[in-house]
Amino acid sequence: MSPGRATVRSWLIWLTAVTVYLLAVFHRTSFGVAGLQAAERFGVGAAALGTFTVLQVGVYAAMQIPTGVLVDRYGPRRVLTAAALILGLGQLLLGVASSYGVGLLARGVLGLGDALTFVSVLRLVAAHFPGRQYALLTSFTSAVGYIGNLAATVPLTLLLDGPGWTVTFLSVGAITLLYTVPVLLRVRDTPLGVPVPVREPVRPAELARQVRTAWRVPGTRLGFWVHFTTMFAPNVLTLLWGVPFLVQGQGLPPATASALLTVFVFGSMAGGPLLGTLIGRRPSLRMPLVGGYLGGAALVWAVLLGWSGPLPVGVLVPAFAFLALGGPASMIGFALARDYNPMHRVGTATGVVNVGGFVATTITALAVGVLLQWTGGNFRVALLAVVVVLALGTARMLVWWRRARAHLFAAEARGEAVPVRIRRRPWDTVPEPARPAVAA
C-alpha cells in the first residue's frame, strides 16, 4: 500500500536512487555523440556501428521483465547497487577497448547495468509516495535522466576531443563505481514503520506465472504499446543516428549536430513535469494526450523525410522539440501498469511495459543501419523504418486501448474500484465479467 504522504526521507531516497538512473542514461546515450569516434577507433561501417546500440538496447529490453521480477524478489536497493557496479565496470571496459569485439562486450555490460535502474527507481516511488503523486514522480525521474542525456551531448563531445576516449570513459566509469556507497547508505526499500517484506525463495514456475498474470492485464498490455510507440523515435536519434543524420545526411558540423540533440533533452525536461502534473490531476487525459502526440509525430516525420534539400535549423529545432515529448508521453505506460496491478506485482508489470520502447528502439536502430548500408548512406530511405514502426505500434495500441476501456467498464459494472473513470464512447464494448481487471 502507498503511504498517505511523502516525507523528507522519501525525497532523499528518491534523489539518491534517481542519480543512478541519471548515470545510466549518460552511459546509454554516450554513443549518440561518440558514434563517429567509435567507427574510427574500431574500424567499422554503419551497419556494424548500429550493432553497438542494437546490442545494448537489446540487452536492456530482454532484461526488463527479469528486472521487474528481481526488484519484487530482492528489493530495489540491492538491484540498484548491482546496477551501479555493472555500469561502472562496463564503462571501464569500454575505455580500454581497442577491438570491435571488446567494444561490443562493453556495451552489452552497460546495457545490463542500465536495465536494472529505471524499474528499481519506479518501485521505490510506488513504495514511498502516495499513488496520486506517482505520475508526477515518474515524470521527474525521466526529467532527471535527461540531465544524463544532456551531459552526453556537448560536454562529452568536448571531453572526447580533449582528454580523449580512454581518459573520458575510465573517469566516468570510476565515478559510477564509487556511487555504490551512497546507494548502500541512503536507499531503503520501505518507508519508516513499514516492515520489509519477507521474501521467500520463489520457484521459476511461480515467477513465470507472475509475469503471465501481469501481461494478461489489459492495462499492462496497453502500457506496453504506449511505451513502444512513443519513446523509440527520440531514442533512435539520441542513442545513435542523430549525429550521423545531421552530419552526413544534412551536412552540419559535428558541434552543431551535438547542440541540436540537446533540444531533445530540454524538450523532455520541460515537458515531463508538465505532463506528469496534468495527468496526475486528470488521469482521463492520458490516452488522448498519447493519441495527440502520435498524430503530431507522424506529421513531423512527413516533414523531415519529405523536405526538399537540406533541412533548415529553423525546421529541425521545433521538429526535435516535438519529438522530444515522446519520452514524457511514454511515462503514461508506467502509470497504467501501476494503476492496474497490485503493489506486489508493480515491479514486474513496470518491467513488462518498459520492454516496449526498447524493443522498438532495437528494431528501428538495426533497420536504419542496414538500410544505410544498402542505400549507400541515404538517410531519407533509412529513416522510413521509423515511420513503419510508428504505424505498427499505433495500430496495436489502438487495439489494446479499446480492450482496456472495455475491461474498465466491465469492472465498474461489477462494482469494483477502478483507478480512473472514463466516459463511454460509441466504439466501446463491455466484455463478459469473467475476472477482476483492476487492482484493488
Q: Grid coordinates representing 82?
A: 548491482
Percentage of the chain beyond pLDDT 70 is: 87
Q: Which of 209, 243, 283 is nearest to 34 (CA)?
A: 243
Buried b vs exposed e over 354-378: b needs ≥16 C-beta within 10 Å? bbbbbbbbbbbbbbbbebbbeeeee
DSSP 273: H
* Sequence-separated (6 or more) residues with CB below 8 Å from residue 205: none
Helix axes 346-375, 326-339, angle to 10 degrees: 150
- Sign (positive or negative) of CA dihedral 123, 124, 126, 132: negative
Tell me, what's the pLDDT at 81?
96
Is 30 a residue whose pLDDT tops 60?
yes
376 φψ region: left (φ > 0), alpha (ψ -120 to 50), beta (else): left
Residue 427, classified by CB atoms within 10 Å of its CB into exposed (0-12), middle (13-18) or buried (19+), is exposed
Q: Which of 148, 160, 177, 176 is nearest to 28 (CA)?
A: 148
Residue 412, classified by CB atoms within 10 Å of its CB into exposed (0-12), middle (13-18) or buried (19+), is middle
Phi–psi pair at 45, nearest 5 degrees: -100, -165
8-191+207-413, CATH topology level = Growth Hormone; Chain: A; (1.20.1250)
pLDDT tens-digit series, residues 119-172: 899 889 888 888 777 777 887 888 788 788 777 767 887 888 888 888 988 999
Rounded-to-integer distance, Cα 326 and Cα 294, Å: 8
Task: Name the residue with higher pLDDT: 168 or 226.
Answer: 226
Tell me the pLDDT band of 338, cut-offs 50, 70 and 90: confident
User: Worst-scoring range by mean pLDDT, 17-26, 64-73, 372-381?
Assistant: 64-73
Task: Name the residue with higher pLDDT: 335 or 416.
Answer: 335
Rounded-to-integer distance, Cα 127 and Cα 150, Å: 29
* Sequence-separated (6 or more) residues with CB below 8 Å from residue 438: 219, 339, 340, 407, 408, 411, 416, 417, 418, 419
Task: Name the residue with higher pLDDT: 26 or 154.
Answer: 26
Task: Name the residue with higher pLDDT: 403 or 132.
Answer: 403
Q: What is the mean pLDDT of residues 366-389?
A: 91
